Amino acid sequence: MTAKTASDIDQENPMREIRIEKVTVNIAVGKSGEPLEKAKKTLQQITKHTPCQRNAKRTVKDWGIRKGEPIACIVTLRGEESESFLKRALEAVGNKIPESSFDDYGNFAFGIKEHIDIPDTKYLPEIGIFGMNVNVTLERRGYRIKRRAMRTSKIGKKHTITKPEAMSFSASKLQANIVKEGEAVGETET
């Protein structure tokens, strides 16, 4: 009899399978009015979902922001559409994710400088060009016990997703290249 490795056990147990819980796309404009409305149109054009607006949490006089003023818009994608959008968004950054973008709980984030870099996105002169943040939350089955309303419980340490597991998932499932700290992210290979 041969001993089973950790990867063999992960493949046999469906509870150990890593999946994309949600993809959150955020455009922070910094002021309300026409720029925020243009950002909402951009997000709706890219994701095919109606964005929600986010308000300022505190007043910043230097930037002219009042508490409660709408300054950003956000869309949360789940299921198959989250995965398809994520693949398009990764193409915009050349399928490269910096290693520093991963946290210790299996989440990662990256920025897109211009929304027109995303494939199948048209430039509309009346809207302009916006940058955005894409945040990805990974989880395993059973994470619901942490969020449910009644009898919440903690997730065991062995069941949480580690940084190396998240990096290997994004490399294998999303075909992303994990870039080390010293390498340049924005440059293309020649």
Q: Tens of pLDDT along 141-182?
A: 888 888 889 999 998 888 899 999 999 999 999 999 999 876
Q: Is 126 a member of any domain?
A: yes
pTM of the predicted model as reported, rounded to 2 decimal places: 0.83
Confidence at residue 156, expressed as pLDDT on a 0 to 100 scale: 87
Q: Is 80 a member of any domain?
A: yes
User: Does 188 have pLDDT greater than 80?
Assistant: no
Pairwise CA distance, residues 106 & 163, whole Å: 6
User: Does 187 have pLDDT greater than 60?
Assistant: no
Residue 70 sits in a domain whose CATH number is 3.30.1440.10
What residues pair up with 76 in beta bridges, in sequence order?
Answer: 24
Q: Is 24 a member of any domain?
A: yes
Q: Is 45 a member of any domain?
A: yes
Pairwise CA distance, residues 92 & 16, whole Å: 30
Q: How many CB atoms lie within 10 A of CB 81?
A: 13
Tokens 């990096």 locate to: 167
Q: Is 134 a member of any domain?
A: yes
Pairwise CA distance, residues 101 & 111, whole Å: 10
Give per-residue pLDDT as tens, 89-140: 999 999 999 999 999 988 999 999 999 899 888 888 888 899 999 999 999 9
Confidence at residue 113, expressed as pLDDT on a 0 to 100 scale: 93
> Alpha-carbon torsion 93, 96, 99, 104, what sign?
positive
Which token pair is 168?
């290997």
Domain carrying residue 33: 16-179
How many Cα atoms within 13 Å fall on the side-chain side of residue 77? 23
Confidence at residue 4, expressed as pLDDT on a 0 to 100 scale: 61
Q: Is 130 a member of any domain?
A: yes
**Kind and range of the H or E element at 91?**
helix 80-92
pLDDT band at 22 (very low <50, low <70, confident <90, very high): very high
Q: Is 98 a member of any domain?
A: yes
Q: Is 2 a member of any domain?
A: no
Give per-residue pLDDT as tens, 31-90: 888 999 999 999 999 999 999 999 889 988 888 888 888 999 999 999 999 999 999 999
**Overall domain count for the chain:** 1
